[in-house]
Structure 1
Amino acid sequence: MRLGMILAALLVAQKAAASECSPIAEGSSQIVFSDWAGPELPVYLHRPSESGADSPIVFVMHGVNRDGDRYRDEWRELAEEHGFIVAVPNFGRDDFPTTASYNMGNIFDGEGNVRPREQWSFAAIEPLFDELVCGLDGRQRDYALYGHSAGGQFVHRYVAFAQAPRLRVAVAANSGWYTMPDAREFPYGWGGTAAGLVDSATALSRPLTILLGTQDTDRNDPNLRRNEAADRQGPNRLARGETFFATGHDSASAAQFDFAWRIAYAPGIAHSNAGMAAFAVPILLDAPAPRIEVKDSAASGPEN
């Protein structure tokens, strides 16, 4: 991992020296990212006026509506208040039309075969981080990752499937359903066609927080997946997040792996990225924010 970070830093330095990246202006802006094996991605940014070369970079993953500009705007005041840089890569429907192509990682092609890792949607994040560090003339060595709803699905699967050596902390908020850390068939588990794609010991020891709005319990939400496999996880997003955390704890305990996941609650918040964002900040940055209830990895997790 250390060698990978050194090589990445050298790459950033070389790109900056060759002027291969454009400076990122203060305030809100947009760039187009193309330095990866996938399609060009619009990236919505906010760089606070008080930011510097060491300011944290927080990736925010949008939901099902693919509205990265709205997500950036909902995080802008928090970025200014706490001095971090927001980056929202937008996975539009033209290139990523389905759940499988965005929030499930684009891991499999239409025939069910595993794509090369560099074509997974997860693969955009690490090279985009390099691009941002270059454009900021920064010294950042790691990043934080947050996602809400479909973006939360992206995040919890990223933690499991992505080779992400510079991921510092991840928050998956109000996911509609989960790929469980057990042997069930993908996409509802890490088994079947996905067997061998997850290093379970690494995934369970990564700093992932499942952040749940206590009022995100609408069973009739049209964007909530309802089928036998999803309903086995619970009737709504709140219950399904608790099941995911408990399953991770039990899987780690059975295999005697280190377990670093946490579960946290945003009191009174329903299905709202704007409402969840303030509760995510202390997890992402250890910054002051509203009171948040957290259960750490020593807990057995709630029963369902």
Structure 2
Amino acid sequence: MIRVEDLPAGHPGRRLLTGRTPFFVAPTEPRCSYCAYVPRSWTPDARMPVLVAVHGTGRNVGALREGLIPFADRHDLIVVTPLFPVGIDDPDDVHNYKTIDAHGIRFDLVLLEILEQVRVRWNARVDTVLLCGHSGGGQFAHRFLYLHPDRLAAVAVNAPGTVTLLDHSLTWPAGIGDTQRRFGITVDLAAVARVPVLLVIGGDDDGRADLAAMGEPGRSRPEELDRLAVSLARHGTTVRRAEVPGVGHDAAGTQPPIIGFFDDLLAGYAEFADPASPHLAP
């Protein structure tokens, strides 16, 4: 794999591999892929941090990346947007990635392999990253937090339809009682609690009909988010809440508080801005 720093400064590959990149297949799972936005300020010594943004059921990866470009340019940060496609081994399966494993694929491990490729190609700092996800991406994001809290600096969870509670009496994906058997990972509650979390919802995003159609009658997205907030707070996580008035189930409309949350984090956590910090060392 070509590293950008190995290309001469005027090489056209540098133009291709900075700014809005093409899609790359995931290293060991070519049915999945990712694209990135790399600020033009990139240099081999920049060792830029990374924000991972995970799509919802509609897989609108292009718009998701586009909305984060001003934030990336402002902070000299790489945005990575994975694509977990519909129809892997089941032409009608739109949910696969949301609960982390499906059809023999561990989507959390696919993301970790993507991040390793990002580290090598762009000399990025990926030991801990920012993570956000809308709807189905919000489901993935908080479940990834449970399994890999050591890889995250902060998480923004936006309007998930269903949630996993930090409850050992329930099995996955309702709770975490069987994660050792299922994933080979016992959830480290203290490590999860060290990661700040933002929970976001649109003020007009009820979602009750959508959830009922998926077998979750009687629940709404705000209620699911409340359940997640209580579970996280009970185990010591610092949880921030944001409701965006007049917005429904819309990724772009609920993005401003997520950007504000990460702006605050980057302003307040010197170790995230310091390439020499052991907290983010490769």
TM over 0.5: yes
* 1:163-217 CA distance string (max 9 Å, x none): 45432222111111101111223322223x5465442424532414142224143
TM-score (norm 1): 0.70
Amino acid of the structure 1 residue aligned with 2:193: S
SS at match of 1:184: coil
Match of 1:271 in 2: 249
Structure 2 unmatched ranges of 5 or more:
7-12, 268-282
* 1:125-175 CA distance string (max 9 Å, x none): 2221121122213455431111010000000111113x4543222211111
Shift of 1:56: 2.2
Distance in 2, Cα, partners of 1:227 & 1:65: 16
Q: Is the 8 A contact 1:28 1:46 kept in 2?
A: yes
Match of 1:218 in 2: 206
SS at match of 1:180: coil
Which among 26, 34, 48 is matched to residue 39 of structure 2? Answer: 48
Q: Is the 8 A contact 2:200 2:257 kept in 1?
A: no
Q: Is the 8 A contact 1:188 1:229 kept in 2?
A: no
Which among 255, 259, 266 is matched to residue 281 of structure 1? Answer: 259
* 1:219-244 CA distance string (max 9 Å, x none): 4553x35677664xxx3212211121
Q: Is the 8 A contact 2:136 2:160 kept in 1?
A: yes
Distance in 1, Cα, partners of 2:212 & 2:50: 31
Distance in 1, Cα, partners of 2:171 & 2:126: 38
Structure 1 unmatched ranges of 5 or more:
1-13, 110-114, 253-258, 290-304
Shift of 1:49: 2.2
* 1:245-288 CA distance string (max 9 Å, x none): 112333x2xxxxxx224132043143221122221123334369
Matched, 1:248 2:232: yes
Aligned residues: 251
Which among 213, 236, 240 is matched to residue 220 of structure 2? Answer: 236
Distance in 2, Cα, partners of 1:206 & 1:144: 14
Residues 80-99 of structure 1: pairs in structure 2 closer than 5 A: 80-95=73-88, 98=93
**Aligned-residue CA RMSD (Å):** 3.2
Distance in 2, Cα, partners of 1:26 & 1:181: 39
Change (3 A) 1:96 1:129: farther
Match of 2:237 in 1: 260
Which among 160, 163, 169 is matched to residue 175 of structure 1? Answer: 160
Distance in 1, Cα, partners of 2:109 & 2:262: 21
SS at match of 1:142: strand
Q: Percent identity?
A: 19
Q: Is the 8 A contact 1:216 1:236 kept in 2?
A: no
Q: Which segment drifts farther, 49-58 or 179-188? A: 49-58
Q: Which segment drifts farther, 137-146 or 124-133? A: 137-146
Distance in 2, Cα, partners of 1:226 & 1:174: 17
Distance in 1, Cα, partners of 2:217 & 2:144: 19
